């Protein structure tokens, strides 16, 4: 009887761990390289050089450029991401002269919805 209970608990734990792993990978499923969206092409032209092809961050001149999917970026509000792109924050350049207001707004949505899986 005890063994049966133990097995049930074990199955339950396994299922929850699997569910966790699955939701984590789902968030990261979006492929910028495969996307034909306008935002993805803006990303490839303007952001990939620093943040990496898939926005997972990368090392450049010994400095770590953050991922836009996980970590600190995922704790930022819509407004903070908007300002980061529009005004920049050294060493990231401002994009207010490269992108239109509409494009900046679309990039904020892109980061939050496509990369971070938020609404
Ligand atoms: C020249 C390199 C460079 C380019 C190009 C660049 N970034 Fe960045 N970005 C950075 C660096 C470096 C940081 C970290 C700044 C800091 O330490 O606060 C950053 C931070 C960010 C953050 C905040 C992330 C966080 O962890 O707080 C966002 C959002 C962001 N970038 C979006 C973009 C988008 C969207 C583009 C394209 C329109 C872009 N970046 C282009 C270098 C770049």
Instruction: Indicate whether residue 107 lines ligand 1 (CB < 6 A).
Output: yes
Measure 22 CA to ligand 1 centroid, in angstroms.
28
Asked if the bond preceding 91 is cis, omega within 30° of 0, the reply is yes
Domain at 31-115: CATH code: 1.10.760.10
Instruction: Indicate whether residue 115 lines ligand 1 (CB < 6 A).
Output: no
Contact, 28 vs 41, CB < 8 A?
no
Please state whether the predicted TM-score (pTM) of the whole model is above 0.75.
yes
pLDDT tens-digit map of 14-50: 666 556 555 555 556 899 999 999 999 999 999 999 9
Q: Which residues contact 21 (CB under 8 A, 6 or more apart)?
A: none
Instruction: Indicate whether residue 10 lines ligand 1 (CB < 6 A).
Output: no
The residue whose C-alpha atom lies closest to atom 43 belonging to ligand 1 is 92
């Amino acid at each position: 009887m005890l063994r049966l209970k133990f097995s049930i608990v074990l199955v339950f734990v396994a299922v929850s761990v699997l569910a966790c792993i699955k939701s984590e990978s789902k968030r990261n499923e979006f492929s910028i390289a495969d996307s034909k969206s306008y935002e993805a092409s803006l990303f490839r032209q303007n952001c990939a050089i620093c943040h990496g092809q898939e926005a997972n961050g990368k090392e450049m001149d010994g400095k770590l450029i953050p991922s836009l999917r996980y970590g600190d970026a995922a704790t930022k509000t819509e407004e903070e991401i908007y300002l980061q792109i529009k005004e920049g924050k050294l060493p990231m350049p401002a994009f207010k002269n490269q992108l239109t207001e509409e494009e900046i707004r679309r990039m904020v949505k892109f980061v939050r919805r496509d990369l971070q899986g938020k609404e």
